[in-house]
Amino acid sequence: MSQLIPPHGGKGLVCCLLEGSELEAEKKKAEGLKKVEISPRENGDLIMMAIGAFSPLDGFMTKADWKGVCEKLLLADGTFWPCPVTFSASKEDADGINEGDEIALFDPKLNEIRATMKVTEKYAMTEADKKFECEKIFMGEGTPTAEEFWKIAKEDHPGVQSVMGQKDVNLAGPVKVLSEGEFPIKYAGIYMKPAESRKIFEERGWTEIAAMQLRNPMHRSHEYLCKIAVEVCDGVFIHSLVGNLKPGDIPADVRVKCIDALVKGYFVEDKVLQGGYPMDMRYAGPREGLLHATFRQNYGVSRMIIGRDHAGVGDFYGMFEAQTIFDKIPYTKEACPDPGKALLCKPLKIDWTFYCYKCDGMASLRTCPHGKEDRVLLSGTMLRKLLSESGEIPDHFGREEVLVILRKYYEGLTDKVEIKLHGAATGQ
C-alpha cells in the first residue's frame, strides 16, 4: 500500500485521457460533432484533467460549482477547490447547443480536436458575473476595496484580463481528452503526469515531499527555499509551469536549462526531482497558492513551499497573503466529515529570503538581524528587468551558470517587453 499522500477528492487519480481503441473510436466520433474553440487557459486546464492533476474534476464546472468555489472555496458536493475551472463559448455557438449534446473542443492553434464534452449545463456569464469572479479570486490585500481594485485590474492584472475576455456562456460537463498536445514531445523528460511522479517518489522511498512552484528562472532565493525543504522532507519536487505566461516572463525551455544547471552543480541529485505541468498561470496570488497545493497533492506532494508574494503580480496581494490564506480555508481534514474532500497538502511557509553580506550567506527575515543595506534582495521580476536592460547583476543574486544561460537568451531577443517593478520586487 502506498505511503504517499492520497490524491485530492477521495476518488484516486481521475484521468480523462483516452487510450487505445477507446481513443480511436472517440476521435472518429469527434469529427462529426459541433466544434467549439478552446482558449489557451482552458486547454491547459483540460490537459490537467486529462492526466489526473485536477483530480477529482472530470470536466468543466457547473454554475453551482463555479459559485461555490468563488464564494466558499467548495465544489457543490463539498469538495475543497479554490479556483474556477470553466469553459466559455460564444452566444452564437451556445445557442446551437442543447443540454445533453456532445461537442468537440477544438484548438485553433494546433488545428486539432483536443477533447469531446457532454454538455450537462450552460449558463450565462454576464459582465457582472465576470466581475464577481474577479473580485473573489483576484482581489487581495494590496487592493482591499473593489474601487481600488478596478482602478488598475483591467489594465495590469493578466488573470482579470483573461476572465473579462471570456465569452458570454459557460458550458459544463465531463470531458474525454484525445490529446495532450505538444507537451509530451516539446518538454520530454520534464512534462510529468501525477502517476509518474508518484511512481518515482515510491521508488526513492520518499513519503514527505515538498514542491517548489516556479514560473521564473531559479535564483539564489529559490535555491535556498528548496534546500530548506530538503532538510525537513525526504526530497523536493522542483515543479515548473510549462504552460502560458504573461508577456515578458521567461519561457519554460530556458527555465528548465537553468534548473538543470543548478541541480547538477548545487544539489544532491537523488534528493531532487524536476518536473513540469501544463497549466497557464492565473496570477491569483493566495487563491493560486491554494490551487498549487491542491493539484500538487495529486502529484504525491505533502508540503507546498509558500514564500513571499507567491503567484502574485504587481502589488495586488499582501506579501505573505498566500501563506495566511491556508489558516483561513473552510475545509480542513479535522473539520470535514469526509477527509478525502479536504485539502491534505500543507504549506511549508518560509519568510523572505536573501543573501546577507554580514551573515556571509543566505538568510531570512527570521534569521538575519542586519539592515536592508547589507542584503541582496532577490526577485525574479528584478532579475528579468536587469537582464532585459543589460544591467549589472549584483553579486550573489544568481549562480553564474544560470546567468550565462539567461544572458544568452536575452541577447537573442529582438522584441523586448518592458518589465514593471513593484513593491515585492524592489524590497519595499
Look at phi and psi of residue 62 and say left if phi exceeds 0, alpha if psi is from -120 to 50, else beta: beta
Pairing mode of beta strands 272-277, 235-241: parallel
At the top level of CATH, which class does the domain 187-428 belong to? alpha beta
Residue 335 pLDDT > 70, yes or no? no
Please state the φ and ψ torsions of residue 272, each to the nearest 5 degrees: -135, 140
Instruction: Please give the residue that has the higher pLDDT: either 251 or 72.
Output: 72
Helix (H), strand (E), coil (C) string for 328-380 = CCCCCCCCCCCHHHCCCCEEEECCCEEEECCCCEEEECCCCCCCHHHEEECCH
Helix (H), strand (E), coil (C) string for 111-167 = CEEEEEEECCEEEECCHHHHHHHHHHHHCCCCCCCHHHHHHHHHHHCHHHHHHHCCC
In the numeric block, which cell numbers belong to residue 194?
A: 501525477
Average pLDDT for 84-107: 97
> In the prediction, which pLDDT does 205 show?
97
* Contact (CB, 8 A) for 70 and 63: no
Least confident of 61-65, 133-137, 202-206, 252-256: 252-256
Residue 133 pLDDT > 80, yes or no? yes
Tracing cell 451556445 back to the chain, one arrives at 94
Residue ranges of the domains in the chain?
Answer: 20-125+166-181, 187-428
375 is catalytic: no
- pLDDT of 149-183, one tens digit each? 999 999 999 999 999 999 999 999 999 999 999 89
Identified catalytic residue from 41, 43, 114, 216: 216
Confidence of residue 425 (pLDDT cuts 50, 70, 90): very low
Residue 234 pLDDT > 90, yes or no? yes
What is the percent of the chain with per-residue pLDDT over 90, rounded to a whole number? 75
- Tally the C-alpha atoms within 13 A of residue 198's C-alpha that lie toward its C-beta: 21
Look at phi and psi of residue 139 and say left if phi exceeds 0, alpha if psi is from -120 to 50, else beta: beta
Average pLDDT for 24-42: 97
- pLDDT of 256-284, one tens digit each? 888 899 989 999 989 999 999 999 999 99
Residue 420 pLDDT > 60, yes or no? no
Average pLDDT for 272-298: 96
Confidence of residue 422 (pLDDT cuts 50, 70, 90): low
Residue 424 pLDDT > 80, yes or no? no
> In the prediction, which pLDDT does 127 show?
97
Task: Give me the residues paired with residue 376 across strands.
Answer: 355
Reply yes or no: is the peptide bond before residue 56 cis, omega within 30 of 0.
yes
Average pLDDT for 27-50: 97
C-alpha distances in angstroms, 333 versus 80, 95, 396, 412?
10, 42, 41, 50
What is the percent of the chain with per-residue pLDDT over 70, rounded to a whole number? 93
Listed residue (180, 175, 135, 179) closest to 159, CA to CA: 135
Residue 97 pLDDT > 60, yes or no? yes
Torsion of CA 64, 69, 72, 76, to 10 degrees: 40
Identified catalytic residue from 41, 215, 287, 375: 215
* Contact (CB, 8 A) for 197 and 325: no
Confidence of residue 426 (pLDDT cuts 50, 70, 90): very low
Confidence of residue 380 (pLDDT cuts 50, 70, 90): low
Look at phi and psi of residue 167 and say left if phi exceeds 0, alpha if psi is from -120 to 50, else beta: beta
* Contact (CB, 8 A) for 354 and 364: yes
CB atoms within 10 A of CB 211: 29
Tracing cell 525537513 back to the chain, one arrives at 232
Instruction: Please give the residue that has the higher pLDDT: either 251 or 228.
Output: 228
C-alpha distances in angstroms, 395 versus 220, 371, 400?
11, 17, 10
Distance CA 235, CA 212 (A): 11
* Contact (CB, 8 A) for 211 and 237: yes
Residue 83 pLDDT > 90, yes or no? yes
Give me the chain's average pLDDT, please.
Answer: 91
Listed residue (209, 278, 282, 196) closest to 241, CA to CA: 278
CB atoms within 10 A of CB 294: 24
Distance CA 265, CA 292 (A): 27
**403 three-state secondary structure:** helix
Residue 421 pLDDT > 70, yes or no? no
> In the prediction, which pLDDT does 428 show?
45
> In the prediction, which pLDDT does 338 show?
81
Least confident of 46-60, 238-252, 290-304, 365-379: 238-252
Average pLDDT for 327-354: 82
- Tally the C-alpha atoms within 13 A of residue 134's C-alpha that lie toward its C-beta: 27
Rg for the chain, CA atoms, rounded = 21
215 is catalytic: yes
* Multiple choice CATH, 20-125+166-181, 3.10.560.10, 3.40.50.2300, 3.30.70.980, 3.10.400.10: 3.10.400.10
> In the prediction, which pLDDT does 36 show?
98
- pLDDT of 402-415, one tens digit each? 889 988 888 887 76
